[in-house]
Amino acid sequence: MQPATTEPAGSTSGAPDRVDPRTQRSVAALREAVLALAAQQEPSAILVTDLVKAAGVSRKTFYNHAVTPVELLIRVLTDELDAARDRAEAQFSMAADDLASAVRRRLTGILQHVSDRRAVYLSPAGDRLSPELFQMLSSRFRNAVELSIAESYRVAPVVSGFDDAAHRAAAIEMSASFVGHAYAGAIQAWLQHPEVGEVDFVLDLIWAALPAWMTERPSSGSGFGRVES
């Protein structure tokens, strides 16, 4: 296959938001190629030379879209995770009273995505998540928890005697990081056991381990999330 000519994502007369079809084909080819290569080797080991050859595009075309193959891979996976989140939000909004259903629906979508992309997430040796993807997942979970607290869907734990602004801010960051790493760690352990690959299994296991403040809507004046020291 001959490398495709490099075409910027530009506008056409009368349609300023239209993307050139050749650019769309190049992007699709790069996405498919980076997923295929990541299923065969560590993301950090993917060479630009191999990626552009597999995609049938030029190096210039690749660099128009990403700096490194890892960056491109994370963007592709993030797009898929965003789509799963949006589908879950359409079914059970985080703003609804039933926080538990909203959280379960989001987690189900993420776990199904990871299951579908098992070969991409798991290292070639099958003993761990690829480091870049572990970090991507844990950061994504952490950021989602922090956002849910900022939007008042949740209240992070507060330690009695340490409820000033500085300690509250640190508590949010620490609590969100705790959950984010726990989620990613559980997913990593799950992928190491293909004999128990059911999404429902890991969903219920993670659910049973979650703290109450992650799954229950706090009521006014309930003291929810307070930890006695």
Question: Percent of the chain, pLDDT > 90?
Answer: 71
For residue 169, give its domain range. 114-227
Same domain, 39 and 121: no
**If 0-12 CB within 10 Å is exposed, 13-18 middle and 19+ buried, where does residue 198 land?**
exposed
Counting the structural domains of the chain, the total is: 2
- Res. 222 pLDDT band, cuts 50 70 90: very low
| Domain-embedded: residue 153 | yes
Residue 95 placed within a domain: no
Q: Is residue 14 part of a domain?
A: no
pLDDT tens digit sequence for 2-47: 444 333 333 334 444 566 788 889 999 999 999 999 999 999 999 9
Does some domain include residue 69? no
Do 48 and 136 belong together in one domain?
A: no
Residues 193 and 121 in one domain: yes
* 40 lies in some domain: yes
- Residue 3 counted as domain residue: no
Instruction: Encode pLDDT of 143-161 as tens digits.
Output: 999 999 999 899 989 899 9
CB 165 within 8 A of CB 202: no
Residues 58 and 132 in one domain: no
Any domain includes 129:
yes
Between residues 137 and 124, which one has the greater pLDDT?
137
Confidence band of 227 (pLDDT split at 50, 70, 90): low
Find the helix or strand (DSSP H, E) in which 135 lies: helix 131-150
pTM here? 0.83
In tens, the pLDDT along 100-136 reads: 999 999 999 999 999 999 999 998 888 899 999 999 9
The answer to whether residue 216 is domain-embedded is yes
| CATH number, residue 43 | 1.10.10
Contact (CB, 8 A) for 57 and 138: no
